[in-house]
Amino acid sequence: MNTSRTNDSDDPSGHGPSIGATALWGSSQGKRVHLLTPEERAELAVISSVVRFKKGTVLYREGDHANGVFNIVSGVVKSYRTLSDGNERIAAFLFPDDLIGLVEEGRYVNSAKAVTAVTGYKIPVAALETRLRRDPGLEFHVICKLCHELREAQRHAFLLGTRHATAKVAMFLQMLDAYQAARGDSTTEVYLPMSRSDIGEYIGISLEAVGRSLKALVSRGVIAFRNSRHVKIISRSLLEGMASEAGTRQLRPHDWGKD
């Protein structure tokens, strides 16, 4: 693991850890808000190390002794659990300004792997706890972030409860689209950093079903692919319709236009 202390010199990757979330009590119009003040970021930078991971690297495994929480600066991480039969189930995709490293009784609850190349901060738990107990403002910001993660986990569960593959895929695209919009990214195209297999393991269907559902969305004119990882949403209202279970029933062959 390639690490270096952040306080050694000027740090090219930013000015310390950064976390974002939609507002708790105020209104942020769906946008993400940067929770940490410059002072808090600097304070955390002192106790953190910068870390880099190549695509495919495991950050930690479920059950490992938890010695740190990670803050993602760039790249995508998946949090997952491995089943007895070797299959994986993905609990969450983590993006920049996210916190990762959920702990229970001193051990990581999930495993984590870099989906793309990743840079971030590793914050030691011991130092973090003392820092938290000393700074109620920082603590409150962490509470906001945890509420955000809880809402996302519930949204994920909501998605998984859907019974139709196409509706699941549509909701997944909506989530990525909303995430990119909340960050202020370009809204012309959705980027899929993860494989079909990852998507399937996240939304609870086989990777083949992911492909078929995407194809179904294409043939209905809801989306269009530039390549396998770049989708354009042609109609957000149509996508919304596909996501809401009702209009989900696959068209019977005779109902299709040509093709």
Residues that bind DNA (CB under 7 A): 163-166, 195-197, 204-212, 214-215, 225, 227-229, 249-250
Question: Contact between 106 and its own copies (CB under 8 A)?
Answer: yes
Residues near 38 by Cβ (< 8 Å), separated by ≥ 6?
15
Nearer to its own copies, 167 or 192 (CB): 167
CA–CA dist 259, 253 (Å, integer): 9
Strands 33-34 and 107-108: unpaired
Question: Contact between 92 and its own copies (CB under 8 A)?
Answer: yes
217-245 as b/e, with b when 16 or more CB fall inside 10 Å? beebebbeeeeeeebebeeeebbebbbeb
Alpha carbon 238 to its chain's center: 24
44 binds, among DNA, its own copies, none (CB under 5 to 8 A by kind): none
Site for its own copies in 194-253 (CB under 8 A): 201, 204, 244-246
211 binds, among DNA, its own copies, none (CB under 5 to 8 A by kind): DNA
Q: Answer yes or no: are the C-beta atoms of 222 and 239 closer than 8 Å.
A: yes
91 binds, among DNA, its own copies, none (CB under 5 to 8 A by kind): its own copies
59 binds, among DNA, its own copies, none (CB under 5 to 8 A by kind): none
150 binds, among its own copies, DNA, none (CB under 5 to 8 A by kind): its own copies
With DSSP H G I counted as helix, E B as strand and the rest as coil, what are the percentages for the chain, rounded to 5?
40, 25, 35
Q: Least distance from C-beta 163 to its own copies, angstroms? A: 7
Binder to its own copies among 19, 35, 77, 102 (CB under 8 A)? 102
136 binds, among its own copies, DNA, none (CB under 5 to 8 A by kind): its own copies
Q: Is 254 exposed, middle or buried (0-12, 13-18, 19+ CB in 10 A)?
A: exposed
Site for its own copies in 108-137 (CB under 8 A): 109-110, 125, 129, 132-137
The torsion angles phi and psi of 125, rounded to 5 degrees, stand at -65, -40
Strands 118-124 and 49-53: antiparallel
Q: Is 211 exposed, middle or buried (0-12, 13-18, 19+ CB in 10 A)?
A: middle
Q: Least distance from C-beta 160 to DNA, angstroms? A: 11
Q: Is 104 exposed, middle or buried (0-12, 13-18, 19+ CB in 10 A)?
A: exposed
Question: Contact between 12 and its own copies (CB under 8 A)?
Answer: no
Binding site for its own copies (CB under 8 A): 22-28, 30, 66, 81, 83-85, 87, 89, 91-92, 102-106, 109-110, 125, 129, 132-137, 139-140, 142-143, 146-147, 149-151, 153-154, 156-158, 160-161, 163, 201, 204, 244-246
